[in-house]
Copies of this chain bind each other. A is one copy, B any other.
Amino acid sequence: MNDLGARARRASRQLANAPTEQKNNALQAAAKSVRASVNAILEANAKDVAKGEQDGMSKAFLDRLTLDNDRIEAIASGLDAIVALADPVGGVMASWDRPNGLNIERVRTPLGVIGVIYESRPNVTADAGALCLKAGNASILRGGSDSYHSSRAIHACLVSGLQAAGLPVDSIQVVPTTDRAAVGEMLKGLGGNVDVIVPRGGKGLVGRVQSEARVPVFSHLEGICHLYVDKAADLEKAKAIVVNAKMRRTGICGSAETLLIDRAVAETSGKAVLRALSDAGCAIRGTEEIIALLPAATLANEEDWSTEYLDTIISAKMVDGVAEAIDHIATYGSSHTESIITEDLEVATQFLNEVDSAIVMHNASTQFADGGEFGMGAEIGIATGRMHARGPVGLEQLTSFKYRVHGTGQIRP
| Contacts from A to B (Cβ < 8 Å) | 13, 16-17, 90, 96, 98, 102, 104, 109, 111-112, 195-196, 214, 216, 234, 236-237, 240-241, 244-245, 248, 330, 339, 352-354, 356-365, 367-368, 373-375, 386-388, 390-391, 400-412
Contact = CB atoms under 8 A, between A and B. Distances in A.
CB-CB nearest 8 A-B residue pairs:
A364-B407, A244-B411, A237-B409, A386-B400, A361-B405, A388-B388, A363-B407, A367-B412
A6 to B, nearest CB: 14
Contact of A411 (B111, B248, B405, B410): B248
A161 to B, nearest CB: 24
A13 to B, nearest CB: 7
B412 A244 contact: yes
A400 B409 CA distance: 35
15 contacts: A17-B354, A98-B374, A102-B364, A216-B216, A216-B387, A240-B409, A362-B406, A363-B409, A364-B406, A364-B409, A365-B410, A365-B411, A367-B411, A367-B412, A368-B405
A216 to B, nearest CB: 5
Given A13-B330, A102-B368, A330-B13, A390 B402 contact: yes
Contacts of A362: 404-407
Contacts of A109: 356, 386
B386 A390 contact: no
Contact of A402 (B104, B234, B359, B412): B359
A357 B391 contact: no
A265 to B, nearest CB: 17
Copies, count: 2
Contacts of A375: 96, 98, 104
Given A362-B404, A367-B411, 17 more contacts: A17-B354, A98-B375, A112-B386, A236-B409, A352-B404, A356-B402, A358-B403, A359-B402, A363-B410, A364-B406, A365-B407, A368-B405, A374-B403, A387-B387, A387-B388, A388-B388, A391-B403
Q: Helix, strand, loop or mixed for chain A's interface?
A: mixed
B90 A241 contact: no
A255 to B, nearest CB: 10
A357 B400 CA distance: 11
B400 A360 contact: no
B17 A410 contact: no
A245 B368 CA distance: 51
Nearest to A410: B364
A90 B400 CA distance: 22
A356 B236 CA distance: 54
A362 B362 CA distance: 47
A240 B400 CA distance: 32
Contact of A240 (B13, B112, B411): B411
A351 to B, nearest CB: 10
Nearest to A248: B412
A388 B248 CA distance: 34
Nearest to A101: B364
A125 B368 CA distance: 44
A409 B234 contact: yes
A24 B401 CA distance: 30
A109 B359 CA distance: 12
A33 B339 CA distance: 43
A362 B102 CA distance: 10
A411 B248 CA distance: 9
B368 A404 contact: no
